[in-house]
Structure 1
């Protein structure tokens, strides 16, 4: 047997399959996607099997693989094939994609152990190779060295043994320790007769084993130790005398274990919902890989359409993937899916521990979970027979991986849908211009839900011109109009959501005498004041410093904070509405495990009147008693140097407005802005996505931006500014000479607002073009040259369709 592997060396020179011989004793363990150790040059490296063949084109002598690292494959043939496609399209190395597909736990160093699950069967099958010593856990080497590969494979396939991966300094499998009877009742009688008369507790235990032996069969060790007459010393004596034995059972960590979900049932669909459902279901039944854009206003019932389609797929023995863009949305969406289906749900997102994600991955591989709910990386879930893929809030930039490998979950979903011949649903109230334009030209099929459930009205949106208010009242955060509306809702025992797209207490600290702004020493941006920790923090590199009492430049004590953050707003709310209970949601308050869910659950149960947060609270959330949404400053991102700035502002404002009036109460939205006449603000007020789409498309067309042009950014970074500066100009010259500049527009070199981040200097050029193939080869050439640059401390990254430019 010969295997083709991708080695764990991310360089262009070795970014291809290499052939290795499989020793006969290891053949039974080999599968596509499994990790192996191979000799490569003078070292041993990890590699992933991507193909199994009988013959090799290599003319020299093949080296044998050294060992098999896994005992089950975490990458199926589909994902291995997908890795090759993605790598070629996003200009990265295939090993980077394969590593991104693996559970996090398999990307770190670990040791393997075998747990004996069925001792009798294990001893029967291994009697010729092992001495029966009652061992419950074996180091992997101790079995691999003495058992034939075929026997080892049989033990694993029959669940006689299970593999435990132990990460250094981290427990990776959860176990429960039981005690079990080890003798018959007659044996216990004999033991009692031989027992010393002074051993009263031992006698008590033996007497109970004689009379109530069945109660001790697989009793939890903790239950034994909680017995008023027993203790750990007695347990150790019982085990030493072989009256009892310990049994350690591995159990899955269930991130939903402590939650109860009331069952929910299918809702009667509206005519618009039924039309969308019927169209998508017909495509699933016909096994058509159609991509649908489900454009529905906020509160129009898109989720119910998703759930009923997943139900049909599950009834037909198929699986489904349901992606959400934010961790904050996951608890509510998991609750909806879990309450509908109860079992067979796997949850995958970054708030889970490494071990929890690993356990969820194993449940998926074994077919114990057929519906996966999670964030971006869940698109790689190794499900079989996929019948439906849903990407909710498809316009969100979080579906694009920001660092290497820079894949977009939407593109992966479409590839997998073609592999499985199943539909993809892209759902949003405010689709991205790229997605909507593809629907306009027929690449995607457009389905609309233009009305809210039960004909509920969209909330009324009012704009407040803050330029006419600042300086006239006691605070510059809340307009009188918003204060009155909040008080009215508090009096009515209704709830309020307030959006401020910043965290921290104030934006920056400024010296009023010399004008000095406190800067991050590692980045080219100002530090943000966090009052609760009394620290200045950098939101790029997480640099911390104490709050200064005088200006570091002129030593004046006249240094003050400027701007506002969520902490400052929360403090102001407490001053204005002392009777109100407020929950603040931002990165600082949701760092802890389960904090998103804890805070949202508290708000949904009425334990707070006001939910204040950053954009994580703006979409997907559904609270019946929320009747007022206030946007503190709608201009935060409107004038950023990014061609998507107006699109993101419109989407964010429309999405957060949709949180109001979703129940039986009418909703209202107050948007505070310094630019009330801006076309985006006027269209937000009208909640007119159609008009916004065509207005923005005209602007994109005039400026040669997506969706009319493709965009790729090339970024150079180095700790030495002159190196980065020189390299970016070299790249521009190289591209200029290689391509026709009438077909490729080159913008830059330039640097964003923060030229320096975490002690690295950044420069970039932007390429705009209509023909992908025209620039593809030159970008691959640049990628192949990056290894020499890395040795000099210069890093070049290529990002196709970047989501951010600052």
Structure 2
């Protein structure tokens, strides 16, 4: 009996199956999915059994040294999906497989508690008030230790011991679930009456579930049109047919609100998976999915790898979001994996967005593979909020050079006077985006990265790439001059200006600096939802998915932060962000308004967002993409080279470019990456373009084969269908 083992080395040269003999003592215990310890060279390494077979030759085959887990860590379906991820994204299979099972690898296992539990079969209750208090507490909170039970009941440990001696309580070791939503009240929500477009969308999804064949729907619904209710009805239809469902959201900030909605409809059948959970919570949620007690999975991108054995519905909410792309190996896109999952199981995929990615929307046209479902108006026919564009050039010429234009300042004052809420959006955190010496022109940069340091209100400069931090100097490090200028605006500076202009206003801020502590996303959003703040200031965390009926004003402090990035998707992302954040206004009965401040008021992305015109933006952006040959009219692959020596990095990039060039693939570069140094490593890149992903994979595979024979001192990262070109 020979086990086929993947060793835990994420290297291309060992990305293959190795055979090991299963010793007699482990026969019947080692199975597909087992984690084992195997000899590999002079070491013993962890490995994963992916099957059994006969090696080319049996002589010299080593034995499995030990079995590390009793049961399988992955299912046949997960292994099949991992093989697809590895092949499509050109990453080692072991990396793809570990992305599937990482909740099981980060903790020692289930939590076992040795505590006191109410004895079974005991009738009645203890007679004295103190005994009864202990008895009631043990029933409501089983598993507490003797000391915990005594302390919380306000009695002596001796009294607890007496109940144990009389048989009322018994000492047991039991598994206790680590619940990520413990303490959060369950608020059942009866399904509302659907409007006509919603009902039609649900009928289409249910009919596709009945066919039990792969079907992809693009649910194009304007902001506030009730996409979430369509998801919930689709999930209910899947459960009625004995199938499971997984729903992906792009941001952890959205997860608390969605968790409340999903639990309100499906109760304890919902499992939550995202990186913000503790390791033990992820493990227990994973086990609930695996044993079938949680047939509904809700989470961020990695939730697409949940161990479902019969998924019927796969939902990708805000499918256009670039955060669905993993920026580390394996560099997968959760939307693409979701579509593969649907194909593998004959399931229905629903991609939902008010601003679909161009690649997705064009697949609904002219008999494309996706079926378009439209939600063209808001719930209760509420109007979309009017959008006013404020030309910051005119403000500057008029002498108004602060953060807020006169129009936005007046609108904020009006909302505060009417006791209404406002959201201010700026996709930049910190206080000032860079510091420059006004005497010699030195810009303070991170010593480890090729990027300016961001000034924060606590007086420190911070690099948002490597987290390097230092106190801001009072003198220029180069010329010792004292004229240090603080330029640019971040969310901290916006908050300070709001407090200066409106000292009575209650202000909350939602960005990475305020949400580092566990549970802080929920606390901030819940407080704002309860009306405990008048103004919420935030980055893109506030731009999507939030349903706050009290918000009547949304202000975009600067729409240009994404518009002029060196990325061909800059216009698309700006349109999406503006449309999404505008959609937070006017969801209640009082209507709403949006003000967008920009130096580029005539840009087609800004103008289309002003008119809520997805079709107009789509047509103009597609004509530009067609002329330039960018996706969706081609496919791209970015190959990133990093190393300590820039000379070696450049040489490696040139070598691979030579091996990959020719045929139907266009090679652009090599060239320095826009961020040429990060964490003391230099970065060069190639961008390959072709009309099919397979041609890119073939070219990169050929290039890597030649490259690895010449130079191995530089790290190479392959990113197929890249979302980030920085």
In the superposition, the TM-score normalised over structure 2's length comes to 0.94
Q: 2:351 matched to which residue of 1? A: 426
Alpha-carbon distance, 1:446 to partner: 1.2
Query: 1:629 and 2:554 equivalent?
Result: yes
Measured in 2, the distance between the counterparts of 1:224 and 1:277 equals 53
Change in 2 beyond 3 A, CA 1:278/1:716? same
Alpha-carbon offset, residue 48 of structure 1:
1.0
What is the CA-CA distance between 1:513 and the residue it aligns to? 1.1
> Are residues 1:177 and 2:115 paired?
yes
How far apart, CA to CA, are the structure 2 residues paired with 1:636 and 1:392?
25
Deviation of the 1:75 alpha carbon = 1.1
Give the match's secondary structure for 2:335.
helix
Aligned match of 2:295? 370
Does residue 500 of the first structure (1) align with residue 500 of the second (2)? no
Counterpart of 1:479 in structure 2 is 405
Residue 748 of structure 1 aligns with which residue? 669
SS in 2 for 1:717: strand
Match of 1:549 in 2: 474
C-alpha displacement at 1:534, in angstroms? 1.5
Shift of 1:345: 0.8
Q: Describe the shift of the 1:238–1:803 C-alpha distance in structure 2 as closer, same or farther (beyond 3 A).
A: same
Q: Corresponding residue for 1:577?
A: 502
CA distance in 1, matches of 2:558, 2:245: 39
- Counterpart of 1:161 in structure 2 is none
Aligned to 1:4: 4
Question: Would the aligned equivalents of 1:176 and 1:251 in 2 still touch at CA under 8 Å?
Answer: no
The separation in 2 between residues aligned to 1:629 and 1:248, in whole angstroms, is 54
Query: Residue 31 of structure 2 contacts residue 49 of structure 2 at CA under 8 Å; is this kept in 1?
Result: yes
Q: How much does 1:471 deviate? A: 6.3
Distance 1:179 1:457 in 2: 56
CA contact (8 A) 2:659 2:706 kept: no
2:191 and 2:209 mapped to 1: Cα distance? 19
Residue 262 of structure 2 corresponds to: 337
Which residue matches 1:805? 725
Structure-2 change in CA distance of 1:39 and 1:759 (3 Å): same
8 Å CA contact retained: 1:789, 1:795:
no
| Equivalent-residue separation in structure 2 for 1:237 and 1:280 (angstroms) | 60
**In structure 1, what is the Cα distance between the partners aligned to 2:721 and 2:502?**
45
Aligned to 2:64: 65
Q: Report if the CA contact (8 A) 2:221-2:374 is conserved.
A: yes
- Give the greater-gyration-radius structure (CA): 1
Q: Which residue of 2 aligns with 1:347?
A: 272
Please give the alpha-carbon distance, in whole angstroms, between the structure 2 residues aligned to 1:91 and 1:219.
Answer: 48
- 1:58 & 1:478 partners in 2: Cα distance? 75
When residues 780 and 209 of structure 1 are mapped into structure 2, their CA distance, relative to the original with a 3 A threshold, is same
1:441-479 CA-partner distances (Å, limit 9, x unpaired): 412111111111111111101100011112645652101
Q: Could you list the per-position Cα deviations for residues 576-627 of structure 1 after superposition, in whole angstroms to 9, with x for gaps in the alignment? A: 1111111100000001101111100000000001110001110000011111
Q: C-alpha displacement at 1:785, in angstroms?
A: 5.9
TM-score (norm 1): 0.84
Unaligned 5+ runs, structure 2: none
1: CA distance, partners of 2:637 / 2:143: 61
1:395 has 2:342 as partner: no
**Partner of 2:212 in structure 1?**
287
Distance 1:456 1:537 in 2: 43
Write out per-residue CA displacement over residues 694-723 of structure 1, whole angstroms, 9 at most, x where no aligned residue.
110000011110000110011111111111
- Offset at 1:663? 1.6
- Could you list the per-position Cα deviations for residues 134-178 of structure 1 after superposition, in whole angstroms to 9, with x for gaps in the alignment? xxxxxxxxxxxxxxxxxxxxxxxxxxxxxx53xxxxxx7263622
Q: Deviations over 1:614-642 (max 9, x none)?
A: 01110000011111110000010101110
Q: 1:784 to 1:225 in 2, by over 3 A?
A: farther
Aligned-residue offset at 1:242 = 12
The 1:179/1:387 distance shift into structure 2, 3 A limit, reads: closer
Q: 1:31 Cα deviation (Å)? A: 3.3
2:571 maps to 646
The range that moved more, 312-321 or 690-699, is 312-321
Pairwise CA distance, 1:254 = 0.6
Change in Cα spacing, 1:245 to 1:666, as seen in structure 2 (3 Å) is closer
Instruction: Give how far 1:655 is off.
Output: 0.4
Please list, as runs of the form range in 1=range in 2, the aligned pairs for 1:594-633 lying within 5 A after superposition.
594-633=519-558
Q: Partner of 2:313: helix, strand, or coil?
A: strand
Residue aligning to 1:158: none
- Listed as ranges, the gaps of 5+ residues in structure 1 are 111-163, 166-171, 186-203
Partners of 1:648 and 1:598 lie apart in 2 by: 28
- More moved, 218-227 vs 758-767: 218-227
1:512 pairs with one of 409, 425, 438: 438
1:46 aligns with 2:49: no
Partner of 2:375: 449
* 2:668 matches 1:668: no
* 3-state secondary structure, aligned to 1:555: coil
SS in 2 for 1:92: coil
Aligned to 1:102, what secondary structure does the other structure show?
helix
Measure, in 2, the Cα distance between the counterparts of 1:7 and 1:56: 16
Equivalent residue of 1:291, what SS? strand
